[in-house]
Amino acid sequence: MLVEIFSDPFLNSELAFRGGTALHKLFISPAARYSEDIDLVRTSNGPIKAIVDTLRKQLEPWLGKPQSTQTKQSFKLIFYFSPESSQASRQRIKIEINILETFSVLDRLPKKFSVESDWFSGETEINTFQLEELLATKLRALYQRSKGRDVFDLWLAIKQTEFDIPRTIQIFGKYMNRGGTPVTRELFEKNLDLKLKEHTFLDDIGALLSPELKQSHSSVIDAENESTLITENGERITTEGWNLVDAATEIKNKLLVHLS
């Protein structure tokens, strides 16, 4: 899908790839989690019809006709399809285009991307953001919504990539100030601590993990904050795997400490 989108010169110039999928597809190898969404950002202002029409032309021949919705903030295309490997199952992919944030703090970055599978192979150059800006907007997502995958993505970036942390925090501040919601370290940490008490937040990531990380993933399910894993037959066992609470602590110590 990404090859089909960004191999079109018009779409490559009008859209930039952002979000968790961009992080895992372009900066972390192998990808550590699956994604249900493709987050795109417009690079120019004006009517969106030509962009949507071109997206449909590129994707409908092999995904079928999508459902679409539009708000002041975004335009969404939702495709439902049955993969060749499992015709009986029906999968969903959402493409969301942010139509307001046409700016970038840093120069955008072209990244080579290729796909090789039994049924499709191709390569292209994807228009995306520098890693620091991707992580800054991921920090913003962590603050503004309640999805444990944001903790996981930031934790994995800390563990597996090299990036300029002070620069990332500076860019995060610019995005928050631009939105009229500046955030202090104290506010962010309180926000995160409250989310870590929500089961929906803690359980958000499990189904999206790659098999290797899913095997070592621990859910915090008891008062002692002990790392445990629920096996297929429902048995709870203690593990030494990572969990989102530990990952959140890492984010506090490595990233949020740079907030004033």
Give the contacts of 6 (CB within 8 A, at least 6 positions apart).
12, 15, 17, 113, 124, 125, 126, 127
DSSP lists the bridge partners of residue 229 as: 237
Edge-to-edge, what's the strand order for the sheet holding 219-220? 219-220, 227-230, 236-238
The residue ranges of every structural domain in the chain are 2-129, 133-258
Rounded distance, CA 17 to CA 190, Å? 30
- Does the 2-129 domain belong in CATH 3.40.50.150? no
* Count of Cβ atoms closer than 10 Å to residue 235 Cβ: 9
Tens-digit pLDDT profile for residues 68-99: 999 999 999 999 977 665 556 678 899 999 99
Tens-digit pLDDT profile for residues 156-203: 999 999 999 999 999 999 999 999 999 999 999 999 999 999 988 987
pLDDT average, residue stretch 9-30? 94
> Quick check: 43 pLDDT over 60?
yes
- CA dihedral sign of residues 223, 224, 229, 234: negative
> Quick check: 232 pLDDT over 60?
no
Rounded distance, CA 36 to CA 21, Å? 8
Burial environment of residue 207 by CB neighbours within 10 A (0 to 12, 13 to 18, 19 or more): exposed
Question: Which stretch, 6-15, 60-69, 72-81, 221-230, has highest mean pLDDT?
Answer: 6-15
pTM: 0.85
* Count of Cβ atoms closer than 10 Å to residue 91 Cβ: 11
